Structure 1
Amino acid sequence: MLLAYILVLCSNIVVFANETGEQHNLGESLPIWSVLPFVGMLLSIAVFPLVKPEWWEHHMLKVVIFWSLVFLVPFGVVFGSEMLIFNILEIVLLDYLPFIILLFGLFVVAGGIILRGTLIGTPKVNIVLLLIGTILASWVGTTGASMLLIRPVIRANQWREKKTHIIVFFIFLVSNIGGCLTPVGDPPLFLGFLRGIPFFWTLKLAPMFLLNTVILLTVLYFIDHYYYKKELASGKSPRDVMDDGPKKPLRVEGLHNLIFMGMIIGAVILNGVLPNFAAFADQVTGEIHGVHIFEGVVVGYNSILQMVMILTAALLSMKTTKKIIRSDNCFTWVSIKEVATLFIGIFITMIPALALLKANGSSLGVTNPLEFFWATGALSSFLDNAPTYLVFLTTAGSLGMAKGLATAVGTVSVKVLMAISAGAVFMGANTYIGNAPNFMVRSIAEENKIVMPSFFGYMLWSLCFLIPLFLIDTLIFFR
């Protein structure tokens, strides 16, 4: 059955490629249904953990390999081995490897910091913790803030029976919306900074940030207060799961890991800044200097430096942090292993979708802020929000706007740029795969015996709470 499917896929792509005569341009050569392996990958993530959880746990890698081959085999047959090797190396070495190393570094370093003392997860405490994480996200990144705060939130609510809603709103706020105020907060905004958008320009999103944060925290408070009262009425108490004894003052151990967190953030910033120097890039052509792996695939010295710095920070964190801290933090490698496995499949099968978007983004008919907000957001919910942001930023720059902010891709009106930025950052919260920390937070929560919604179950939460919020954003800011 699989062989028949691949043969049909090959024959159809051959016909299409011959008709276009543009095999070198994937976006123009690939038909729309070439995204089917990506859809299959997403459906596998959504369905298998729900219907066959134990099977999925042991065969996850096999499913990833299956869908990757469903795309790669016919692609290699039609476009040849060189094009196949080029695209695999490009997506793995230039996109996936820096992505997973950054996630790994933040995961390791944050796992070496622990908040000790008596912290009881009441509605007020939960609001304060999520507010701190949301504010931190713009300055240490959504991934960094998520990894720092998720374990204290889980421990504080260990005694609670109903806590899924807390983690879901944590993903909404800390893992996504909180990252909108600086280019460090989320990768799409950093790409904008590299293309001429001033570093502090993103503070123009502060009114949206405040509105969304206040609304979501208010909604969370009422939901959490409802469950909190029910649990107290049923006789459940924090002392049911916490040690007896006097209340202990809060204190933080492993604070030296903040130095390593700073190393990681510095590495990310350096990666973007170093190409401005002749040693790292040709200042005329913009060509990056680096290690030539394959024709057209160059791993830049700036990217290599970033990965080395991050791995060094992770190694130093492991060597200098007491084992008892990681043990008390319930630190294991399960969640990072799951994310690394699933996202290699997502990155590979996503190649056609990104190529199609890049080739056809300017022909989508998107011209005003409302359209840019929803188009960027809808695609960022399922695709990597960084290249999606870049496609629509380039599209906006090509519209020939008379007034606005001058960027490397053209002049873009302030409202349109706000719409693209907000869509990419905010709507990454719509699905588990919309932003990297979403899946990581879910995995850590499940590792700590918290029942999390399925893929579609989580989307139901976002439909109920985020989509109405984004409609409010549209009416106030982008109408």
Structure 2
Amino acid sequence: MKKLFALCGSIATMLLFTPLTILAAESGESSTATVPIWLCIPFAGLLLCIAVLPLVKPEWWEKNQPLAVAVWSLLFIIPFAVTYSAGDAVETVLECILNDYLTFIVLLFGLFCVAGNITLEGDLAGSPRVNVIFLAIGTLLSSCIGTTGASMLMVRPMIKMNSWRQHKSHIMVFFIFLISNMGGCLTPIGDPPLLMGFMRGVPFFWSLHLFPILIFNMVILLTVFYLLDRHNYRKDIANGRKPDISKAGTTLKIDGLHNIIFLIMIVAAVILSGTLPNLAAFQDAAGNVRGIRVFREVTLGFPSIIEVAIILLAALLSFKTTDSQIRTSNHFTWGAIKEVAVLFIGIFITMQPALMLLKSMGPELGLSKPLEMFWATGALSSFLDNTPTYLVFLTTAGTLGFTQGIATTVGTIPVKMLTAISCGAVFMGANTYIGNAPNFMVKSISDENGVRMPSFFGYLLWSIVSLVPVFIIDTLVFFL
């Protein structure tokens, strides 16, 4: 533990005395126009805790996650208030919580509840062939109901099918790669970055242009998975493990199927959140989205309120209309959503300086080629929220003066450039557990059900070995 504190102290000292201050893009409009880089220390510290403490102090970390989040959040809020003002600190935190975190966590909560009320029972056993088919279906489903919806719907059946196996953590790792991330690239429903693009003028069905890239990556990753899973499957069989199948092995039964209605409600709410702000009825005379003014310029928009209300109603109706026995069969608990809610409110708050720096630096980074946009967007989406990262680089691309391509509200962007930004944001969210919210939820549910998932660094190693080569191939084939 002393080594951990020493490491944190070294990082903090280095950043604290780094004489670097980044100017915001609109330096004349806010008292927070200059953002010192040392304000990123709490964000780095929280990420370090998430990565290291489950390894060195697992019991302490499990019990004291809220405390750690609160400490790192205050270590950002207090210095921010001292550097600028208490009002600026309150405005920044409220803006983050109300307009980013609230809709984020309500969406996850709704999908978590509704998917937890659907159970898949049957005689399917987790063989390499069955697992590949299941992963392929789930990947394509992600673009229809979102990566979070597909993940929450498929994760428990996947775990059940493979419960008889000993070597199975790799199954859930590839589950995160494909279903929780890559599969969401085909529609704005699939992943929030694409929804933000749709709100800024990218045609709704434009993302279908990414289908060849998705299929290309699926073929590579599913082939790698099949070979790895076949190897581990044979080891399990050799060790005397066998699936408990009493029938033909193909019987399937879905309970709680009526909850599909509530999934559709949630998807509709997400689509409305992207379309209502563009309607005149939801705009004031200046073109700003109407809403409830909370503090200074912080406004909770009416489209967001409608989205939250529909999602919470769907979750409530799902619980009211579903037999509790289905949740028991699913081993449903609140642990996963609680952990995500606690950790991500800290991540959302403490990452604000990093996003401010990224916003100010974006136009000055000299990125003008698709491959540069692909890797820059992807690398930052691995650790920051991929939605604002996508918007930063979308805006950057729109300012480069292109005259041919997709006309958006931020400028004209060549198809190849927009493809690179979209793929970087969606695909590389799979690089870490915090790159996309479903990643952490799948990990938590897997841990709860006896699957020993890799640590933060262990998972990062998996992504470096399995995903980075695929992204390099993507670069050579699609983005040169």
TM-score above 0.5 = yes
2:224 to 219, 228, 232: 219
TM-score, L = length of structure 2: 0.94
Corresponding position of 1:257: 259
Within 2, Cα distance between the matches of 1:9 and 1:468? 33
Within 2, Cα distance between the matches of 1:367 and 1:117? 52
State the 1:277 CA deviation.
Answer: 2.0
Q: Note the 1:291-310 alignment, pairs <5 A.
A: 291-310=292-311
Residue 30 of structure 1: SS of its match in structure 2? strand
Within 1, Cα distance between the matches of 2:346 and 2:28? 23
Give percent identity, aligned residues only: 57
Corresponding position of 2:468: 467
Residue 269 of structure 1: SS of its match in structure 2? helix
Corresponding position of 1:427: 428
Letter in 2 for 1:342: L
Conserved in 2, the CA contact under 8 Å of 1:27 and 1:357? no
TM-score, L = length of structure 1: 0.94
Q: Could you say if the C-alpha distance between residues 83 and 128 of structure 1 is closer, same or farther in structure 2, counting changes exceeding 3 Å?
A: same
State the 1:33 CA deviation.
Answer: 2.6
Corresponding position of 2:459: 458
Greater shift, 199-208 or 418-427, is seen at: 199-208
Q: Could you say if the C-alpha distance between residues 92 and 80 of structure 1 is closer, same or farther in structure 2, counting changes exceeding 3 Å?
A: same
Q: Note the 1:200-219 alignment, pairs <5 A.
A: 200-219=205-224
Conserved in 2, the CA contact under 8 Å of 1:130 and 1:173? yes
- The unaligned stretches of length 5 or more in structure 1 are none
Within 1, Cα distance between the matches of 2:51 and 2:319? 34
Corresponding position of 2:56: 51
Residue 282 of structure 2: SS of its match in structure 1? coil
Corresponding position of 1:62: 67
Conserved in 2, the CA contact under 8 Å of 1:381 and 1:429? yes
1:138 and 2:140 matched: no
Residue 159 of structure 1: SS of its match in structure 2? coil
Conserved in 1, the CA contact under 8 Å of 2:176 and 2:430? yes
Q: Could you say if the C-alpha distance between residues 230 and 362 of structure 1 is closer, same or farther in structure 2, counting changes exceeding 3 Å?
A: same
State the 1:117 CA deviation.
Answer: 1.4
Within 2, Cα distance between the matches of 1:362 and 1:245? 62
Within 2, Cα distance between the matches of 1:418 and 1:13? 36
Corresponding position of 1:315: 316
State the 1:230 CA deviation.
Answer: 1.3
Post-superposition Cα deviations, 1:33-72, rounded to whole Å, max 9, x if no partner, equal 3211101010000000011111100111111011111111
Within 1, Cα distance between the matches of 2:212 and 2:229? 25
Divergent runs of 4+, >3 A: 7-18, 20-28, 244-248
Corresponding position of 1:108: 113
1:180 and 2:185 matched: yes
Conserved in 2, the CA contact under 8 Å of 1:111 and 1:331? yes
Corresponding position of 1:276: 278
Corresponding position of 1:160: 165
Within 2, Cα distance between the matches of 1:387 and 1:333? 28
Residue 406 of structure 1: SS of its match in structure 2? strand
- The unaligned stretches of length 5 or more in structure 2 are none
Corresponding position of 2:203: 198
Q: Could you say if the C-alpha distance between residues 85 and 9 of structure 1 is closer, same or farther in structure 2, counting changes exceeding 3 Å?
A: farther
Corresponding position of 2:89: 84
State the 1:249 CA deviation.
Answer: 2.0
State the 1:235 CA deviation.
Answer: 1.5
Q: Could you say if the C-alpha distance between residues 293 and 13 of structure 1 is closer, same or farther in structure 2, counting changes exceeding 3 Å?
A: farther
Residue 281 of structure 2: SS of its match in structure 1? coil
1:234 and 2:235 matched: no
State the 1:276 CA deviation.
Answer: 2.2
Corresponding position of 2:375: 374
Residue 407 of structure 2: SS of its match in structure 1? strand
Residue 400 of structure 1: SS of its match in structure 2? coil
Instruction: State the aligned residue count.
Output: 472
Greater shift, 230-239 or 360-369, is seen at: 230-239
Within 2, Cα distance between the matches of 1:260 and 1:355? 37
State the 1:14 CA deviation.
Answer: 12
Within 1, Cα distance between the matches of 2:20 and 2:401? 37
Conserved in 2, the CA contact under 8 Å of 1:27 and 1:360? no
Within 2, Cα distance between the matches of 1:466 and 1:272? 31
1:93 and 2:95 matched: no
Post-superposition Cα deviations, 1:436-477, rounded to whole Å, max 9, x if no partner, equal 100000000001011011111100000001000000000000
Within 2, Cα distance between the matches of 1:11 and 1:175? 36
Corresponding position of 1:333: 334
Letter in 2 for 1:168: V
State the 1:285 CA deviation.
Answer: 2.9
Post-superposition Cα deviations, 1:281-315, rounded to whole Å, max 9, x if no partner, equal 13x63201111111101101110000000000000
Residue 293 of structure 2: SS of its match in structure 1? strand
Conserved in 2, the CA contact under 8 Å of 1:429 and 1:435? yes
